[in-house]
Structure 1
Amino acid sequence: MYQYIIRRILVFIPMLLALSIIVFGLAKAAPGDPFSGKILDPNVDPIVYEQQRAALGLDKSIPEQYLTWVSSVAKGNFGKSITYNGRSVESLIKERVKNTVYLGLFSLGITLIVAIPIGIYSARHPYSILDYGATTFGFFGLAVPNFFFGLVAIYLLSINLGWFPAQGTVSSNDLSGFAEFKDRIHHMVLPGLTLGLAGTATYMRYMRSEVMDVLGSDYIRTAKAKGMSDRNVLYKHTLRNAMIPIITLMGFEFGALLGGAIITEQVFNFPGLGTLFIGSVVNRDYPVIMAIALLLGVAILVGNLLADIFYSIVDPRIRYD
């Protein structure tokens, strides 16, 4: 296992290099630069703006700009933001990433708590009322866009009923301790439900399908014939095999939640990486755009590595050495 992890980490290096080229190329493919599309002061000599472009290295060729950027990133320096008064990209990301990670974990927690039990029940009681209801919810969750569900949730649960706040992370900066924790959870309910909607529907359908498939296996019938209780059959034999596809989904979900939060955070004005990314795209803040995109790519790679590790924990028959 340890040799496998080391090999996977070494494979990350060329993958990250390829990812950096794609991220940089897509960022530069967008028309304009940080000084385009803005209302520039007509009293300022255009030469000043050209000097600012030169100071940022925007007057160099694309390959030169890429080499300068990737060499800085390799040293752990993502540069300074063009839009946020020259603040370092690291400080901007550190300021926002905590909120996005909390939201992602909260959303994933809701997804697992809701989807797995309902999926198991639907598999053990197929074509029941709850099974039909879960199937309907699954199609609904996959069909409805997150941003639309978020707007509906704000209108119904925030504006009309007043149960949950529609934006922000805390009600007041004066809160601390358990009161702050409770208030943060209260603010994350709507964006968490919105972000986890599609994931809940997907996990539910996968869990139902896999459990039904495993329950029809010969070794399950043999275990029941030997007198093993339904509880032991479910937890000792069925779930271990049925959870493998779910772990695969969770590997991708690790990065997908951060990526999906970009739209969700914008809908709820949630101060995380999503709102920072959208603002940076609008303002052509290349260092911030590329750093966040690279971070999302790394999250997906790490998620897949963790999924492979959990495979061997859930099913000891799986070996990588």
Structure 2
Amino acid sequence: MDEKTADQAEMLMNRLKKRHQHLRKWAKRQDIQAFRLYDKDIPEVPLQIDIYGKYLHIAELLKFRDKDEKEQEEWTITMAEHAARALGIPEENVFIKTRRQQKGRNQYERFARERFTIEIREGGLEFEVNLSDYLDTGLFLDHRTTRSFIRDIADGSRMLNLFSYTGSFSVYAANGGAMSTTSVDMSNTYSEWAKRNLERNGFLTGNLHRLITANAVEWLNQAVERKDSYDLIVCDPPTFSNSKKMDGVFDVQKDQVWLIEQCLKLLTKKGVLIFSNNFRKFRLEDRELKKRGALIDEITNKTIPEDFAKRKPHRCWLIQRA
């Protein structure tokens, strides 16, 4: 290990110990087992590090200009080893992914495993996370507070979850007393995952908690044509998505007005739409939406949890019909 890498490893260890000492007490009070511990806090160490119970999930973010692939892999492994040592986590409990462009793989072979899933607790509920097979684990930690907010306002509602991923918003809504939930995602894998999350928390899927595998954009058109009605809609779309109904590609910046307007058509008179996305350059077309009868309240600051306070990874709005 060269001197520069050794200095970076020591800085990382010190930072992790300090952050962990602060956040572990907060996490215990909040009944949270998974949280963001480190997010490029030190510019020379561009990693994201999350704790999932007794496991460490590390994402490599950038390609160094002065390192080839082998040198970068050695550097990242060194950082991972020191991170695990700082936190007292066994090396076999460490998972490394790469979010930078790279041919052929998205995690380091030395740490590679398949179908490694665990259950983690959050706010009195349990969720399945997969630490090995995808860049994302199945639970977006930055939306933890948003999920809690959904639970607080869900009582008695008919709830729609668009782009539902693994169904965590639906689980929280059901736990908050939602009369029914409808979760729409185009992935069979994620719909099955959502089913497991609902059922492990005591909510049987079927008539009351429906799981629909479909393109959410196309399904939304059909729901408007059917004149479906919901009291609470959660819409957390991807930045881009293929869709025949949207000239081939859905673009959240370009298509936001259409998307939000369609959601409002499904809302009851006093219904609530929670609209969120993590596209950093996103700008809400609030003037155009207000012309079309939308009442808009940005609630981003209320939805960012303690472990993401320094970097706001998403923006969020509460939208209603005028």
Query: Into which bin does the TM-score normalised by the smaller protein fall?
Result: under 0.3
Structure number with greater Rg is 1
TM-score using structure 2 length = 0.23
Higher relative contact order (CA closer than 8 Å, sequence separation 6+)? 1
TM-score using structure 1 length = 0.23
Structure with greater strand percent: 2
Structure with greater helix percent: 1
